[in-house]
Chain A
């Protein structure tokens, strides 16, 4: 059995709309963290949402495989139960629903069984400690009135409690000050290990100083146009995206 998240020649479009992903190929082996970089509008968030099963998009060609199994026919909740997790670029506010209560429901849904309050609380405590956060965030309504930074940190907390096998983090770094960025990175690094793989979508190289990726891929106009090691991110930081865009046109 393949121990990886594989995106194979993925084409996707907005339901009844334009094509956004135009043949994405990507393999994230378990135990590794890969970065996907690219200019605004390249299709990075769309890739994350399509992997997570957003019904607003339809896959027109290609496949998504988790550990060798296609997940295309599965709903978003079933994909979560297969071990996928998407930290949203724009986490959604759900007024009236307590952050912790929701998270416990999600954990129970994922496991398909009741999770005791004590076990759940222990997991929360651990996540909060890593993220250097206090408990008041638990009783607030889910993302409701959270600052941008709180929303991002909360996504990481959800990830730490739900313990996915493959996480896609969509610009979790953007809009964070340096201290918050370090905490988020601490959370991701705490997850690192042989049973965890991640796709780190980012616009900037900055976070890669704290989460060192095993590989960096560059996405332009719905395709991965080049891949490399951490040094590729440095090059993008220094030279911008123009040279890769030219590369994309040349392809």
Chain B
């Protein structure tokens, strides 16, 4: 099947577009059905309750209409998608040697094992539908840090898993959360015990190789009282002529006094539908940051959310979206304040280039009785070309009048005077434009660990090639 699919020639625009010589050991039939859901559960040797959960979620998915309030999803055809492809028999290998060679080569090409040695506390690598590698530094294991695939989380820590799974994002939440609940596969299970501070980031890396395969990872992160963790997710896929689909669910519980960060640098090829539900529950005096970088894809709909449910909880959502020609980035964030003395901010920076369109969609909700909430929203859009487009949908539901709410939105165009100024000092026009864009996202990018900031800058430069003039 996949041999017949042509790899689109888009030159050096997307450098991760190479196809690996890897065939899945097992692949579900195309399309979504009860039989497919049962097969996924069977292959994972799941307990009965999980199969029941999946089947119920499938019903919810089927009952919900395709949302029409956001990006255009009419091109997404579920009958043309594989919902599960198993890359290898061995899940969660603990050394790269145990990962099949062709897959390992891909991760080496992407620089993952090297980054693991240098700057990460642990790495999880998902290939198609399964995590093929998962490892965390020995000293963290000794402190009780759990960092395994979601499947191993269910198998080895069923009680803990069941206590939290689908409590943050229930299948009823939205159509694609329901879909993910039915067919989820891969993703991480993270538990950081009380008081343990994981200094270096944990990174999960998602690679889709099989053509027409949907990826439906599910990640559950529990940061216990006073603990700290930074989880980073990155993704790439080959470029095929047919559209692809990614729909993840991320659930995070940040317990009292804990601090967590979830960073995404998504860089999908330009024909990916990317519909992700990310949500955190933030408890007393705890803090959570979403740092969300969305590049590539055809359509992205992604609104990381934080629910501040106990006093003193805080959360910041920082996001960058880059919509190039043919792309719609519908992104933003939600902050829900359900307790007093909570606070947070949303900083959104979007860039639209060519005919690209970026939308900021955000919700700030302060429940009645949640006293002295402080929240600030800043969304800035930068348009590169005449035909580039942006729009904002900033929803505010402020039910308590003790809240302090700030909101600022700007739209600017790539400024000719800035370009000329930088050019007159010797920078070529493209580089000048890329530098201005980098400056524009700097307030968000400076929060990234150095390696990722460098990578993001490089990606922006690639996206900006041939942009002006």
Cα distance A106–B432 when bound, in Å?
10
- 8 Å CB contacts to B: which residues of A75-97? 75-77, 79-81, 85-86, 88, 91-92, 94-97
Q: Which residues of A contact B417 (CB under 8 A)?
A: 92
B429 interface residue, CB < 8 Å from A? yes
**Residue-by-residue, is B411-453 near A (CB-CB < 8 Å gives 1, otherwise 0)?**
0000111101111111111011001101111110000000000
Q: Is A241 among interface residues, defined by CB-CB distance under 8 A? A: no
Interfacial residues of chain A within 43-59, with CB under 8 A of chain B in the complex: 49, 52-56
In the complex, are the beta carbons of A54 and B420 less than 8 A apart? yes
Residue of B417, B424, B436 with highest tally of chain A CB at under 10 A: B424
Contact flags A120-153 to B (C-beta < 8 A → 1, else 0): 0000000000000000000001100000000000
Which listed residue (B424, B432, B435) contacts A52, Cβ 8 A? B424
Tell me if A182 is interfacial: C-beta within 8 Å of chain B.
Answer: no
* B420 and A141 contacting across the interface, CB-CB below 8 Å: no
Determine the chain B residues whose CB is within 8 A of the CB of A22 once the complex forms.
none
A92, B441: Cα distance in complex, Å? 18
Given A97-B436, A105-B435, answer yes or no on A92-B418 (Cβ-Cβ < 8 Å). Answer: yes
Whether the pair A109, B440 counts as a contact (CB closer than 8 A) is: no
Cα A55 to Cα B468 with chains together (Å): 13
Interface residue ranges of A101-121 to B (CB < 8 Å): 102-103, 105-107, 109-110
Determine whether the beta carbon of B438 is less than 8 Å from that of A96: yes
Contact of A107 among B422, B426, B431 (CB under 8 A): B426
Cβ contact of B424, chosen from A56, A80, A94, A103, cutoff 8 A: A80
A49, B425: Cα distance in complex, Å? 13
A158 contacts chain B at the CB level, 8 A cutoff: yes
Min CB gap B351→A, angstroms: 12
How many Å lie between the Cα of A138 and that of B87 in the bound state?
51
**In contact, A96 and B442 (Cβ under 8 angstroms):** yes
Report yes or no: A77 in contact with B440, Cβ–Cβ below 8 A.
no
B443 touches A80 (CB 8 A): no
Give the chain B neighbours of A75 by CB distance below 8 A: 423, 428-429
Q: Taking CB as reference atom, which chain B residue is nearest A159?
A: B425
Interface size on B, residues (CB 8 A): 24
In the complex the two chains form, what is the Cα distance from A103 to B443 in whole Å?
Answer: 20
**Which of B258-311 touch A at CB < 8 Å?**
none
A76→B420 CA distance, assembly (Å)? 7
B436 surroundings in chain A (CB, below 8 A): 94, 97
* Cross-chain contact of A81 among B421, B426, B431, B438 (Cβ < 8 A): B426
Considering only residues 156-175 of chain A, those with a C-beta below 8 Å from chain B are 158, 162
User: Considering only CB atoms, which chain A residue lies closest to B428 in the complex?
Assistant: A77
Taken together as a complex, chains A and B put the C-alpha atoms of A77 and B424 apart, in Å, by 5
Q: Which residues of the other chain, B, contact A56 by a CB distance below 8 angstroms? A: 416, 420
Interface centre among A77, A79, A91, A103 (most CB of B within 10 A): A77
Across the interface, do A105 and B427 meet the contact criterion of CB distance under 8 Å?
Answer: yes
Q: How far is the CA of A96 from the CA of B420 in the complex (A)?
A: 17
The distance in angstroms between the C-alpha atoms of A107 and B422, with both chains bound, is 12
Query: Please, how many angstroms separate the alpha-carbon atoms of A109 and B440 in the complex?
Result: 21
Nearest chain B CB to A51 CB, angstrom units: 10
Contact B435 A102 (CB under 8 A): yes
Q: CA–CA, A109 to B427, complex, Å?
A: 6
A54 to B423, CA, bound (A): 9
In the bound assembly, the distance between CA atoms of A53 and B419 in angstroms comes to 12
Contact between A95 and B440, CB atoms less than 8 A apart: yes
Interface flags, A11-53, vs B, CB<8A=1, else 0: 0000000000000000000000000000000000000010011
B295 CB → nearest A CB, Å: 18
B439→A94 contact, CB < 8 A: yes
Partner of A141, one of B426, B432, B439: B439
| A102 near B422: Cβ-Cβ < 8 Å | yes
Complex interface: chain B residues within 8 A of A158 (CB):
425
Contact partner, A77, options B415, B429, B442, Cβ 8 Å = B429
Q: In whole Å, how far is A84's beta carbon from the nearest beta carbon of chain B?
A: 8
Question: Chain B: which residue is nearest A79 at the CB level?
Answer: B424
CA distance A86 to B423 in the complex (A): 11
The answer to whether B441 and A80 touch across the interface, beta carbons within 8 angstroms, is: no
Do the beta carbons of B424 and A53 come within 8 Å of each other? yes
Contact yes or no, B421 A91, CB < 8 A? yes
Chain B residues positioned under 8 Å from A107 (CB to CB): 426
Query: Using Cβ atoms and an 8 Å threshold, which residues of chain A touch B428?
Result: 75, 77, 109
B contact residues around A94 at 8 Å (CB): 418, 421-422, 435-436, 439
- Assembled-state Cα–Cα distance A144/B432 (Å): 16
Chain B residues near A49: list those with CB within 8 A.
420
- Which residue of the partner chain, among B416, B420, B424, B439, contacts A97 with CB atoms under 8 Å? B439
Name the residue of chain B whose CB is nearest to the CB of A110: B426
Whether B425 lies near A97 (C-beta < 8 A) is no
- Interface, chain A (partner B; CB < 8 A): 49, 52-56, 75-77, 79-81, 85-86, 88, 91-92, 94-97, 102-103, 105-107, 109-110, 141-142, 158, 162
What are 28 A-B pairs at a CB distance below 8 A?
A52-B420, A56-B416, A75-B428, A77-B424, A77-B427, A80-B425, A86-B424, A91-B421, A92-B415, A92-B417, A92-B420, A94-B418, A94-B421, A94-B422, A94-B435, A95-B442, A96-B441, A97-B438, A97-B439, A102-B422, A102-B425, A105-B427, A105-B431, A109-B428, A110-B426, A141-B442, A142-B439, A162-B426
* Chain B residues near A (Cβ < 8 Å): 415-418, 420-429, 431-432, 435-436, 438-443
Report the 8 A-B pairs with minimum CB-CB distance, sorted nearest first. A96-B439, A96-B442, A97-B439, A80-B426, A92-B421, A110-B426, A106-B425, A76-B423
